[in-house]
């Protein structure tokens, strides 16, 4: 298709603005994985990307649209109170927790009068996107709506613009039917009806697709068409960073810290779904059960703070810090700190760690995809082995080239890390080579093409 008919809609846009000292506005490429994935594909496409303004500078900079790297970006001005309700309360504290099965159900969630107002805010946020898309989308356009923030865009938009084809893609898992029942009945119904109004709904894994279908079956006669389109890593960008000077400098620094020991690495946001606590518990059990490994391994963990406006995330951060302190207090010697925890975001340093790991631990309790599990093998140069949770979407692709773990099984995780360390050179080479091949085998464009195919178009 002619990509000028394509519109991307997402909460976070590809560009953000800040004010220069001289008072003018300066545009910068935005953060977030979606930009890294879609940016290269949209270059010079003439497509449109619609997102929420995250600041006053964004509102001013992109209200009426701006050209950037060959596609048009428009930032939607959403009232800050509405945005907080939609983003913090509903998207990140409700739908994220729901789809990742994170609630401590005796205590959370609490669907009270404050939450009901937040749900109204989420509706309004979605309707604002729908109205902007109805005004703005090209005739017979294809709108690819990204992620759980925007579950409810389709009903209003489809009614106003029947010429458009609307595809939704979930970057999270989708909750199982038992978890959907946690929502008040009418809210669960509205959520599913919102998604059912799309022409198709896409997921990273057949398991999330099956969960969504099962949820639909429990509540409506016919669900929408679905498809599976796993997101590949942005390999080209990653290899460029891996070859860069910053990464080289970080790698040398890391080698000094590691000092010839076996290196276990994890790279994650500081996020309850990532299962950081049990990763350290497993490491503690490994050191307890296998004394010969003490002083011979080091666990370098890159856990970058995220959503720190939410008490759950601040609390989790504290628990992680406390656990690292405990494990280090138990095992450290004069020459050896068992866990090195890094919480200041530094992409080049993360990539350096991915180049260097002997074992990469990726053990989320539940994860839509988890690109780290694929990014590691793309850049690793040590025949490092990935220990991967069976609850990550990436497991579908990597089951044969990683060592699998049940994420709640601390002993099993300890044994898997030990087994990864024990593998002989030939086995490590075979496994890591296979992992790199799988991780590199699918181009980024395939993911976009799958979404377009769901709209009846080809790339």
The residues that touch a copy of itself, with contacts defined as CB under 8 A, are 101-107, 109-113, 115-116, 176-179, 181-185, 211, 272-273, 275, 277-278, 281, 285, 288-289, 316, 319, 365, 391, 406, 408-412
Please tell me the distance from the alpha carbon of residue 160 to that of residue 164, in angstroms, as a whole number.
9
Between 101 and 261, CB nearer to a copy of itself:
101
Between 20 and 107, CB nearer to a copy of itself:
107
Work out how close the CB of 251 gets to a copy of itself at its nearest, in angstroms, rounded to a whole number. 32
Between 177 and 305, CB nearer to a copy of itself:
177
Q: Whole-angstrom distance between the N-terminal and C-terminal Cα of the chain?
A: 6
Work out how close the CB of 371 gets to a copy of itself at its nearest, in angstroms, rounded to a whole number. 20
- Which of the 8 DSSP states describes residue 367? B
Work out how close the CB of 407 gets to a copy of itself at its nearest, in angstroms, rounded to a whole number. 9
Between 59 and 290, CB nearer to a copy of itself:
290
Work out how close the CB of 278 gets to a copy of itself at its nearest, in angstroms, rounded to a whole number. 6
* Cβ partners under 8 Å of residue 114, min gap 6: 89
Torsion of the alpha carbons at 327, 263, 239 and 202, rounded to the nearest 10: -50
Of the candidates 9, 118, 12, the residue with the CA atom closest to the CA atom of residue 55? 12
Residue with tokens 């799309």: 198
Pairing label, strands 359-362, 262-269: parallel
Q: Which residues are 202's β-sheet partners?
A: 169, 227
- Which of the 8 DSSP states describes residue 297? E
Work out how close the CB of 444 gets to a copy of itself at its nearest, in angstroms, rounded to a whole number. 31
Buried-state track 223-236, b at ≥16 Cβ within 10 A, e below 16: bbebebbbbbbbbe
Work out how close the CB of 152 gets to a copy of itself at its nearest, in angstroms, rounded to a whole number. 19
Between 272 and 384, CB nearer to a copy of itself:
272
Between 289 and 381, CB nearer to a copy of itself:
289
Work out how close the CB of 414 gets to a copy of itself at its nearest, in angstroms, rounded to a whole number. 8
Between 56 and 217, CB nearer to a copy of itself:
217
Contact 409, 429 (CB under 8 A): no
Please tell me the distance from the alpha carbon of residue 11 to that of residue 49, in angstroms, as a whole number.
10
Cα 157 to its chain centre, rounded Å, is 26
Work out how close the CB of 315 gets to a copy of itself at its nearest, in angstroms, rounded to a whole number. 10
**What is the token pair recorded at 15?**
């560009």
Work out how close the CB of 215 gets to a copy of itself at its nearest, in angstroms, rounded to a whole number. 11
User: What is the SS3 assignment for 458?
Assistant: coil
Between 32 and 412, CB nearer to a copy of itself:
412
Between 177 and 244, CB nearer to a copy of itself:
177
Between 109 and 305, CB nearer to a copy of itself:
109
Cα 336 to its chain centre, rounded Å, is 33
Work out how close the CB of 109 gets to a copy of itself at its nearest, in angstroms, rounded to a whole number. 6
Residue with tokens 């970057």: 171
Of the candidates 320, 341, 338, 318, the residue with the CA atom closest to the CA atom of residue 328? 338
Work out how close the CB of 353 gets to a copy of itself at its nearest, in angstroms, rounded to a whole number. 23
Between 211 and 235, CB nearer to a copy of itself:
211
Between 127 and 409, CB nearer to a copy of itself:
409
Of the candidates 377, 387, 383, the residue with the CA atom closest to the CA atom of residue 354? 377
Cα atoms in the Cβ-side hemisphere of radius 13 Å centred on 22: 3
Residue with tokens 């789809």: 99
Please tell me the distance from the alpha carbon of residue 281 to that of residue 296, in angstroms, as a whole number.
18
H-helix or E-strand spanning residue 281: helix 276-289
Residue with tokens 């490590």: 428
Work out how close the CB of 81 gets to a copy of itself at its nearest, in angstroms, rounded to a whole number. 20
Please tell me the distance from the alpha carbon of residue 455 to that of residue 48, in angstroms, as a whole number.
17
């Amino acid at each position: 298709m002619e990509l000028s008919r394509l519109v991307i809609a997402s909460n976070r846009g590809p560009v953000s603005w800040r004010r220069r000292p001289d008072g003018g506005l300066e545009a910068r490429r935005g953060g977030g994985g979606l930009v890294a994935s879609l940016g290269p594909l949209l270059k010079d496409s003439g497509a449109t990307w619609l997102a929420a303004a995250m600041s006053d500078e964004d509102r001013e900079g992109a209200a009426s649209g701006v050209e950037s790297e060959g596609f048009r970006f428009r930032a939607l001005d959403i009232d800050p109170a509405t945005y907080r309700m939609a983003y913090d309360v509903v998207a990140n504290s409700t739908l994220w927790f729901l789809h990742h099965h994170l609630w401590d159900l005796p205590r959370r969630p609490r669907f009270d009068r404050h939450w009901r107002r937040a749900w109204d805010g989420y509706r309004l946020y979605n309707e604002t996107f729908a109205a902007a898309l109805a005004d703005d989308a090209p005739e017979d356009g294809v709108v690819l709506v990204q992620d759980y923030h925007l579950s409810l865009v389709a009903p209003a938009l489809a009614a106003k613009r029947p010429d458009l084809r609307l595809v939704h893609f979930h970057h999270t898992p989708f909750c199982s039917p038992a978890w959907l029942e946690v929502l008040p009945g009418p809210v669960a119904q509205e959520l599913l009806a919102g998604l059912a109004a799309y022409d198709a709904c896409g997921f990273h894994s057949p398991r999330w697709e099956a969960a969504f279908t099962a949820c639909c079956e429990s509540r409506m006669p016919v669900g929408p068409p679905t498809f599976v389109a796993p997101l590949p890593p942005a390999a080209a960008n990653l290899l460029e960073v891996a070859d860069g000077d910053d990464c080289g400098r970080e790698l040398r620094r890391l080698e000094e810290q590691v000092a010839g020991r076996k290196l276990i690495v994890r790279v994650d946001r500081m996020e309850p779904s990532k299962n950081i606590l049990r990763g350290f518990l497993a490491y503690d059990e490994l050191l307890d059960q296998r004394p010969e490994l003490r002083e011979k391994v080091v666990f370098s963990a890159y856990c970058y703070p995220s959503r720190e406006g939410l008490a759950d995330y601040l609390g989790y951060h504290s628990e992680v810090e406390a656990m690292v302190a405990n494990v280090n207090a138990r095992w450290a010697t004069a020459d050896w700190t068992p866990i090195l925890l890094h919480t200041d975001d530094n992409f080049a340093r993360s990539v350096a760690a991915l180049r260097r790991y002997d074992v990469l631990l990726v053990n989320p309790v539940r994860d839509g995809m988890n690109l780290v599990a694929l990014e590691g093998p793309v850049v690793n140069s040590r025949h490092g082995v990935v220990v991967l949770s069976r609850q990550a979407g990436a497991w579908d692709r990597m089951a044969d080239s990683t060592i699998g773990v049940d994420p709640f099984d601390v002993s099993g995780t300890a044994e898997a890390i030990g087994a990864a360390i024990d593998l002989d050179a030939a086995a490590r080479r075979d496994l890591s080579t296979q992992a790199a091949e799988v991780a590199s085998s699918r181009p980024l464009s395939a993911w976009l093409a799958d979404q377009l195919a769901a709209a009846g178009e080809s790339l």
